[in-house]
Structure 1
Amino acid sequence: MSVTRTVELEGHIIDSGMMQQAFGIVMDLDGDFEVEQFDVGKDKESTSYCRLQVMAADQSTLQSILHELHQIGATLMDPVDVTVAPAPADQVVPNRFYSTTNHPTKIRYDGQWIDVENIEMDCAIVIEPAGSVDGGPRAYTKVLNAIKEGDLVATDETGIRVQPPERPRDAGGPFGFMQGGISSERPSESLIRQVANAIEETKAQDGNVLVVAGPAVIHSGAGDALADLVREGYVDSISAGNGFATHDIERNLYGTSLGMDVETLEHPRKGHKHHIYTISEIIRAGGIQPAVEDGLISGGVMYECVTHDRDYVIAGSIRDDGPLPDTITDAVEAQNAIREQAHEADMVLMLATLLHSVAVGNCLPSTTKVVCVDINPATVTQLIDRGSAQAIGMVTDIGTFVPTLADFVLDDE
C-alpha cells in the first residue's frame, strides 16, 4: 500500500527548470507522481502553477522525496504550523532540526507565515513567540555555536516554505546577465561593462557593494584600480585575508608584492623579506589605522578604507605570517564578522580567492547578486557547487578585470 502527499509548485517553474527538477527528484528516489493541475503562464509576467500528487511505497521514502522537493521550493498542500523543540543545552540543537538553505524562507507559526530573518545556509531557525519580543512572533537563523539552551528551534520541513530565486522569461535590466552562469568564452569587455552597470545600479539604489579580495589582486597590479573604487565610494566594504592586506601595504611601503616589483616584475635584493618587514612595521605602529594616521601608509586599498571609513574584515588562517594586528585570528569571531558584512551586502564581487569566496558565499542569501572572477575555472565551479548557485562566474585575468572595471565605472561618473 503506497502513501501519498500533494505538493504545489508556483512561479516561473518552467523557465527556471523547477518543474523538471521536481519530476526528476520523484523518479530518482523511486517514487511516482500524478499531475492533478497544471496552469501555464502565457506571457512574460505570468507565473505557472502545478499541483502534484506524490506517491511512494513507504513513509520513509516519501519523506525523503518531500525533503528534496522542499529544497527546490515545492510546498505541501494544506500546511500546518512549524514543529518546534527547545534546545536541550547551549550549542546543542534538537534531533531532526531543520537545516536552512540560502534561499528566502518562511515559517508558519500560530497560523501565519513569517519571514525568516538573516537567511543563510546550514543554520538552525529559532522562533521567538509573540509576547517575548515587541511585535512578535519572530523567526531568524542561528549558527549552531550560537544556540542557547531553551531556544525554540524548528524541526523537520513541516510548516516551512523555501523560495528559490526564479528565472523569468525576460532577463533584461542591469542584472539580467546574472543568469549567465560561468563563462570564459563570452566577450570579456562586454561582460565587464555589465558588471560595471550592475555596480552603478546597486549604488544608485543606496545598495552595499562588498569585495572579497585575494592577494593576486595586488600581485597582478590591480590594487590601484581597486583602491580607486574604494575611494570613490563604489566599494563599501572589503573582506580579505592577512595576505591581501599585507601585500597591499607592502606595495605602498616597498613597491613590491610578495617581494616582486609590481611594475618591473623584478625581484629586488631582500625583496622576499618585505612582507615580514611590513607586518613588523604595522605591529610597531599599533595597527593599520594608526599607521595611516601617522603617515606610514600613504596609499593602497587599506589606506583608502581607513581614510574614507570603509568597513573591512581581515580573517586569519593557519598559514599567516605575523599576522597583522587587525587580523582576526579566532575562526568563530572571524566568521561572525564576515557574516555581518555579508548580511549588509546587496552585491558581492569575489576576486581571485577560492577559500575566502566560499567562506563568504556560505553566509550570503541566494538573493544577493554575486560575481566571481578567477583565472581558474575550478574556483567558480566550486563556489557554485557549495551552494552559491546565484553566482555568475567569469574566467579571466584579475589584473585585466579590475582596472577595466574601474575604468568603466569611473568614466561613467
Structure 2
Amino acid sequence: MSFSLPRYQEPDFSLPTFKNAPCARFEPAPCDGVAPDDFHATSIFPEYFQTNQGQWSLPVCSRMDCVVVNLDGALSVVEPRRLRQGDMVCVGRHENGEDGIYVHSEPFPAPPGSTAQFAFRTRMTRESSFSIDYDELYSLLRHERKHGSIVWVMGPAVVFDHDSREALEHLVREGFVDALLAGNALATHDIEASLYRTALGQEIYTKQSSPHGHYHHLDALNVVRKAGSIKAAIDNGSITNGVMNALHDKGIPFVLAGSIRDDGPLPEVYADCYAAQDAMRNIVQKATTVMALATQLHTIAVGNMTPSYTFTKEGQIRPVFFYSVDMSEFVINKLANRGSLSARSILTNVQDFLVTTARGLGI
C-alpha cells in the first residue's frame, strides 16, 4: 500500500468571517505563573490569531492547554507555569473569528470523491476490523523512517514477553524508532530480561517462575546503579541485549519519567515530573508519528503535548499521526475524552501488536 501525506488546507481568509473579525486581544499576565482572566487555552489543532488587521498568524510549535504570548508580534505557545509577569497573553473564548482567534479543526480534508487514507477515526471497539489499519500503519512507518520522526510511548508490558521484546529491539535497530518515552519499569524489566531472562521473576518465554525471581528486578537495578548508568552497564558488558541496549547502540534518545511507585530507580530516571515533562516535550516537538502502547497515563500526557500538525524542514504543514494501542476500550476512549481527537486506536494485546508490526515490516 502506497503512502502520501495529506495536504494541508489553509483557511480562506477572504471570507467575511475573517474579513470582519477583530484583532486578537492580549493582556498582561498579572504575576508569574498566572494568566489574565478569560485567557485563551490552545487545542491540538492549528490556531490562527489576527495580530494586525488582515494578518492571521499561526504559531510554529503548539500544544494543548497552553496560552499564547505575543512578543513584539511573534507568537509563542507557553505553558501557564512559565508565564512571567507582564507577558502579553491572548484572551478570548470564541474560536471562530469572533475574538480574532480561529481554531482550524479540519486542516487535512480528504480530496473530493475519495476516502481519506488517514482520516482521523475514534471510538474503535473489539469488534472493529483492523486489517486495513495495520496495512496503513506499515506504509506510514516506512515513509516516516525516511522522512519523519517516530516516537514510541511504552508501558512495561512490551518487554514482559520474549517475542515482543525482540520485535521492539528489531524495530529500534532497523530505524523505526527515533525516540522512546517510558518509565522506570520498562527499562528495569528490559535490563532484567537481559541479565536473567525474566521479567518480575518470570521467564519471558516459558513463563516459568524462577527461584528467588522476585529479586531479579531489584538485582538489575543494583547492577545498573553500581555501574553508574545504563550506558556504563552496557559498556562494561553487563547488559548485552534488549531494547535499552539497542537504543544505546543506535544513539537514540529516551526519556524515563519517574513515578511514586518506582523501585530504584535507574539513574537516568527523572525524579522531577516537570523536568521529565520538559524532556518529553523536547522530543515530542520533533515527532511526526507517535506510537503509544499500553500505558494509559503516559499516553494521555504525551497526547496532551502533541499537536495535530507540525512543519517540515521545507516549511510545509503536515499532520502528526498518533496511534494508541491497548487491549482496553476504556484506555482508548479515555484518550479521546481528554481531547486528543486525532488519535487512531488499535485494540489488541500490545505484545501481539509489536510482533505483527515487525513481521508486517519484514524485520
TM-score interval, smaller chain: 0.7 to 0.9
Report matched runs for 1:10-49 at 5 Å.
none
* Alignment match, 2:230: 288
What SS does the aligned partner of 1:403 have? helix
Offset from partner CA, 1:212-233 (integer Å, 9 cap, x none)? 0101111233111011111111
* Aligned partner of 2:327 among 357, 370, 375: 375
* Alignment match, 1:171: 115
- Alpha-carbon shift at residue 76 of structure 1 (Å): 6.1
Report matched runs for 1:10-409 at 5 Å.
78-111=20-53, 112-129=55-72, 137-157=73-93, 158-165=99-106, 166-168=108-110, 170-173=114-117, 175-176=118-119, 178-179=120-121, 181-204=123-146, 206-221=147-162, 222-367=164-309, 368-409=320-361
Q: Distance between the aligned counterparts of 2:328 and 2:235, measured in 1?
A: 38
Query: Contact 2:69–2:90 at 8 Å: present in 1 too?
Result: yes
Query: Contact 2:123–2:333 at 8 Å: present in 1 too?
Result: no
Computed over aligned residues only, the root mean square deviation of the Cα atoms, in angstroms, reads: 2.1
- Alpha-carbon shift at residue 184 of structure 1 (Å): 2.4
Query: Which protein shows a greater Rg?
Result: 1
- Alpha-carbon shift at residue 82 of structure 1 (Å): 1.0
Q: Distance between the aligned counterparts of 1:110 and 1:295, measured in 2?
A: 61
Number of equivalenced pairs: 333
Query: Contact 2:122–2:336 at 8 Å: present in 1 too?
Result: no
- One-letter code of the match for 2:77? T
- One-letter code of the match for 1:325? P
TM-score, length-scaled by structure 2: 0.87
- One-letter code of the match for 1:154? C
Query: Contact 1:220–1:398 at 8 Å: present in 2 too?
Result: no
Q: Distance between the aligned counterparts of 2:75 and 2:299, measured in 1?
A: 27
Query: Contact 1:239–1:314 at 8 Å: present in 2 too?
Result: yes
Q: Distance between the aligned counterparts of 2:148 and 2:342, measured in 1?
A: 18
Looking at both structures, which has the greater relative contact order when contacts are Cα pairs under 8 Å and sequence separation is at least 6?
Answer: 2
- Alpha-carbon shift at residue 306 of structure 1 (Å): 1.1
Query: Contact 1:366–1:389 at 8 Å: present in 2 too?
Result: no
Offset from partner CA, 1:65-97 (integer Å, 9 cap, x none)? xxxxxxxxxx56611111111112211211111
Query: Contact 1:171–1:179 at 8 Å: present in 2 too?
Result: no
- Alpha-carbon shift at residue 189 of structure 1 (Å): 4.4
Q: Distance between the aligned counterparts of 1:394 and 1:192, measured in 2?
A: 9
Deviates more, 1:82-91 or 1:248-257: 82-91
What SS does the aligned partner of 2:255 have? strand
- One-letter code of the match for 2:306? L
- One-letter code of the match for 2:295? T
Q: Distance between the aligned counterparts of 2:132 and 2:42, measured in 1?
A: 36
Identity %: 32
What SS does the aligned partner of 1:273 have? helix
* Alignment match, 1:14: none
Gaps of 5+ in 2: 1-8, 94-98, 310-319
Q: Pick closer, same or farther for the CA change 1:329–1:345 going to 2, 3 Å.
A: same
Q: Pick closer, same or farther for the CA change 1:188–1:98 going to 2, 3 Å.
A: closer
